[in-house]
Chain A
Amino acid sequence: MAAPAAPARQGPALRQALAGWAGSEGPAWIFVFKTLAAALLALWIAFRLGFDSPRSAMLTVFIVAQPQTGLVLAKSFWRTVGTLVGCLATFVLVGLFSQERELFLLAMSVWVGLCTAGAALFRNFRAYAFVLAGYTACLIGFPSALQPQATFSTAVFRVSEVMLGILCAGLITDLVLPQPLGLRLVGAVRGGYKEFLGFVAGALRGRLDHATQERSHDHFVANVIAFEALRDAAYFENPDARVRSGRMRLFNAEFMAATTSIHMLHQMMQRLRRRQCHRALQQLARLYQELADVLLPEGGAMPATAAEAAPLVQQLRQHRDSLPQRIAAARQDVAARADAEELLDYDSAADLLQRFAADMHHYTESYASLAHPGTRRPARQAPRYVAHADPLTAVAAGVRGVAALLAVSAFWIATAWPSGPNAAILACVFCCLFASAPSPLTAMRGVGIGFAWGLLAAFVCAFVVLPPLDGFALLAAGMAPFIMAGVKLMTDAKTAGIGVGYLLMFGNIVGVENVTRFDPAQVLNDGIASLAGALAATLAFALLLPAESRRLRLHMVRSLRRRALLACNGSLDGLRHRFENSTRDLLGQLLAGADRAAGEDRRLLARALSVLEIGHAIIDLREAAAIGTLSVGSRAALHACVRAVARLFQKPNALHRAHALEGVARAAARIEHALGESGLDLAERAALQRGRVGLHLLRTLLLDDDTYQTLSAVEAAVAEETAHAA
């Protein structure tokens, strides 16, 4: 009786094991086979159409391939644009300089430098356009410089090959076992909303400690950036996502606003607790509890989908509208028993609470509107995502591109090296490809290892496996295992650099051409040239303003503080979002390379959040200064205060801090005076109240030694470093 039972038990176990494997390893293998199919398809079509160099088509597939499916189409679009621009640029360069090789190479380096700088400046999918513009220019430019009369036909062939690679990769990814981004986007929206709602309810009820809140903020910053990348990618893939694109931008922007206001609220409460303002705290805790009960009743369920969030929007609107009355009622209680300072604190906290309730209402409204793309659109403009583009980083990348290409070209001219173009092309590809990587040297190390293995594999494949084989089917079968090994390496983030290097080297020198040549010496020459190109790029990354260097990092950390200057000086139109968004984007870039073990991420986060707090206070103040009925003297006092704070952010020192505090005190007196005057309408009064609260917040923050130290810490570090150097 026991014997037949055993296989029955084994059956489900086996099936379970298989299901587990399909869940963990399945997607990676699907990617491997899809990339292989795309590469071979591109190669086959290129052979059938008799293209000059079929391997370019295959190489393009390798460069476009991405383990995260769905991103291929987004990249393809920008690649196409980049290819065409690069092609046009080459025509111009060849037309102008083809008689003088030194001039031509110089012009080419400058073009590649521009493309590299562009790739560093735009870190999303547009970066690919720049990579490709540089790559195509080299791919077409060097052969045509040697034979200017063949420029046009070379260009047509190269562009066709690159386009063929792009098309094959895009089609195979989209048609065969697609793993749509749309689903991931929906998951990200729902997960993000639920997570934030849970966080807010916990924070308002006072159940989260400071460390948990900090960790959550770290996570939210990453979410904002990841969500924007996903939205951008899904735009090209999924018409559903395209229809909702504007709403999703709004959703993300309002998420940012809500995270900042809950943080400001939290900081305010911390300060009140430190100063032991029990009266105000007690009343505020009650107001928080009320808001938390509206958002997520005890034991109640969170809205699982956008459609289910619709009733919550109504409740939030009612709550937000009734909030001023409750605040005023509670204020009487505080006013009866507390001093003026505490009352002002209460006003500030209550204002922040109101702002947070409004943000939460907006956020929920834009979430609910995602369910019905046709109707019920929130009557707000969806702001663009504002990435922080650091000019110094971009210039450094551009200089690296120019230097690497010039070095290779100089060597090429000096030694009349036949494989020179090969080295130049690869130097350009790597300078562009890793222009915005957080640690390009690590990536280049992986590429170097991959190159060595790729050279070996190409040698074995070209001189042991391929010679006895005849026809495309056998060629494909012979190359498939080698390609699959490389693609499998790409699926793991840790070995992705090795995989890319391996595939580029293998595809480049395995030498699948229309006319087969059997020339080991040439293969070795090409291989060494590729290595030399990668080496030039590595040297450029290591020697010229290395991205990992402390100095560049300090510059970025300092520019995080200088984001506050945007709040001081930027034009007021849409400023709040621009300031918020670019600060968060910069913070995300910094966090990507932060040393988490040493607690650097927490310091960065604290600094960014203080900058956000101060920036919002400054914007409030500037909005108050912009109202029509303010007297000239008051307006001048407010502007002087903003200027004093700006000077402090430019160069924090004790004198500037004292001046800023003085300016704040003077502006506060003016605002109190202006509030006492009659003839203000409701909106103006509200703006002045905001400005008053903002001033109070500014004063608290400027007086707070912790905040001041967080903001000026980098200056101390720089001073220390220069002292060491001297």
Chain B
Amino acid sequence: MPREIELLGFYMPTLLPVFILAFGLQWLLDSALARRGFYAHVWHPSLFRFSVFVCLFGVMGLALYS
């Protein structure tokens, strides 16, 4: 994967769309978990959610820069 991509004539780091993608994925995962009542078993739901996002973004970012 290139580390910079061009969109409509603008160069931007590929991390930016990856960030947005990770955000979308997290939103979907979040809704699915909430629907199953998963968050009743979590001590700090927002910390958990943030950590999931960091994991997703981290994995995708590392894949990009490997």
* Interface of A toward B, CB cutoff 8 Å: 171, 174-175, 178, 180, 237-240, 242-243, 373-374
Contact = CB atoms under 8 A, between A and B. Distances in A.
B50 A242 contact: no
A180 B42 CA distance: 14
Contacts of A174: 46, 50
A480 to B, nearest CB: 25
A198 B31 CA distance: 35
Lowest 4 A-B CB distances belong to which pairs?
A239-B34, A174-B46, A239-B30, A243-B34
18 contacts: A174-B50, A175-B47, A175-B50, A178-B46, A180-B45, A180-B46, A237-B46, A239-B30, A239-B33, A239-B45, A239-B49, A240-B34, A240-B39, A242-B34, A243-B31, A243-B34, A373-B35, A374-B35
Contacts of B34: 239-240, 242-243
A171 B50 contact: yes
Interface residues of B, number: 12
A240 B49 CA distance: 13
Most buried by A among B30, B31, B45, B47: B45
A619 B58 CA distance: 57
A180 B43 CA distance: 13
A726 B50 CA distance: 66
Contacts of B44: 178
B47 A239 contact: no
Nearest to B12: A156
A175 B35 CA distance: 22
Nearest to B46: A174
Contact of B35 (A171, A178, A238, A243): A243
Contacts of B30: 239
Q: What secondary structure prevails in chain B residues at the interface with A?
A: helix
Given A180-B46, A239-B33, A239-B34, 11 more contacts: A171-B50, A174-B50, A178-B44, A237-B46, A238-B45, A239-B31, A239-B39, A239-B45, A239-B49, A373-B35, A374-B35
B17 to A, nearest CB: 14
Contacts of A239: 30-31, 33-34, 39, 45, 49
Interface of B: 30-31, 33-35, 39, 44-47, 49-50
A175 B46 contact: yes
A234 to B, nearest CB: 12
A174 B50 CA distance: 9
B46 A242 contact: no
Nearest to A374: B35
A238 to B, nearest CB: 8
Contacts of B47: 175
Contacts of A238: 45
A277 B35 CA distance: 54
A320 to B, nearest CB: 32
Contacts of B45: 180, 238-239
A239 B44 CA distance: 13
Contacts of A180: 45-46
Contacts of B39: 239-240
A245 to B, nearest CB: 11
A79 to B, nearest CB: 15
Nearest to B36: A374
A363 B31 CA distance: 26
Interface centre among B30, B46, B49, B50 (most CB of A within 10 A): B46
A171 B47 CA distance: 9
A180 B30 CA distance: 16
Nearest to A373: B35
A528 to B, nearest CB: 38
Nearest to A171: B50
Contacts of A171: 50
A238 B44 CA distance: 12
A240 B45 CA distance: 11
A91 to B, nearest CB: 11
A214 B32 CA distance: 44
Contacts of B46: 174-175, 178, 180, 237
Contacts of B49: 239
